[in-house]
Amino acid sequence: MVTVSAPGKLMLFGEHAVVYDRPCLVTAVGQRMRVTVELLDMPEFLLDAEDVKVIGYKKQMSEVGIGEIPKGAKFVEIALKNFLEKHPMKTGIHVTTSEFSSFFGFGSSSASTVCTMKAISELTGIKLSNKELFDLSYKTILDIQGKGSGFDVATAVYGGTLYFVTGGKVIEPLNISELPLIVGYSGVKADTVTLIGEVKKKLEEEPEKVNRIFDAIKDLVEKAKADIVKGDWETVGKWMNFDQEYLRDLGISTEKLEAMISAAKKAGAYGAKLSGAGGGDCMIALVPNDKRKAVGDAITIAGGQVIDVSVNTEGIRVEK
């Protein structure tokens, strides 16, 4: 039996543009997905994932990836299918997932995919490098969603704070010791796939305008990367504010997110923006230490929920 865990993610800069071959900046968060895998004598695949209401799911190993797959089982099952195609197994397998709700938009699907792949590889003695783990896990996400940049997969594998280019063309860890963020949840669960589709439609209808926004976001990512490494938080906050304007132009912000962002800035944040696909989920604020309480209170008064979450945390690891 092997248990592994991987972190969720928070996007700092580069939302949506990263789907179209631009870079992004992303950090690993303290909420971790845990997956336990044990080998079975019978050639069966068993899955228990209480967090997504999948209990006692079972099929023959020869049927993995075939036929109807419940939504909550897809990422684990397709991860197993992709592993088996490269490394066939004669035994069966029981996968149990736990912790880290999909509620806040921290990338639970990618984390569970990476954990499953890592746990099976450890249990079977097939040692995968981080890049091999990323590639197999990213393929799984594309098999299911059809589109995706892979930054959440990279964060689950590598942890820390990353400079990332679509598809893992560049995965560069940033050497930083702190990241003074406050995270606020809007109370609305966003549908990432739908929002990516809406931005894609906008790109098709107004390619010049949207590509101009993506290029401007790319420039902000490069500037923010340099200033994050320097620890110049005031300037990073300024880039956050500019980034939010571009995301607003893409049509992915909401009144609730705008209210939380505005409240954070008025309370003394260096800068604030939505984080992720938009349409709900979370916003982030970069704050001086002496303004943390004031900014947190302001986000709460604006109707948000401040989430106590550590950032820049460790990537995939074997627990036992």
What is the C-alpha separation between 214 and 226, in angstroms, rounded?
19
What is the C-alpha separation between 279 and 255, in angstroms, rounded?
9
174 phi, psi to nearest 5 deg:
-95, 135
Catalytically active residues are 152
Task: Tell me if residue 126 falls in helix, strand or coil.
Answer: coil
What is the C-alpha separation between 236 and 184, in angstroms, rounded?
18
Of 117, 174, 169, 176, the closest CA to residue 316 belongs to 117
SS3 content of the chain, % helix, strand, coil (to 5): 45, 25, 30
Which one-letter DSSP state was computed for residue 268? T
Angle between helices 108-124 and 74-86 (to 10 degrees): 40
Write the CB contacts of 212 (distance below 8 Å, at least 6 apart in sequence): none
Q: Residues 32, 159: contact at Cβ < 8 Å?
A: no
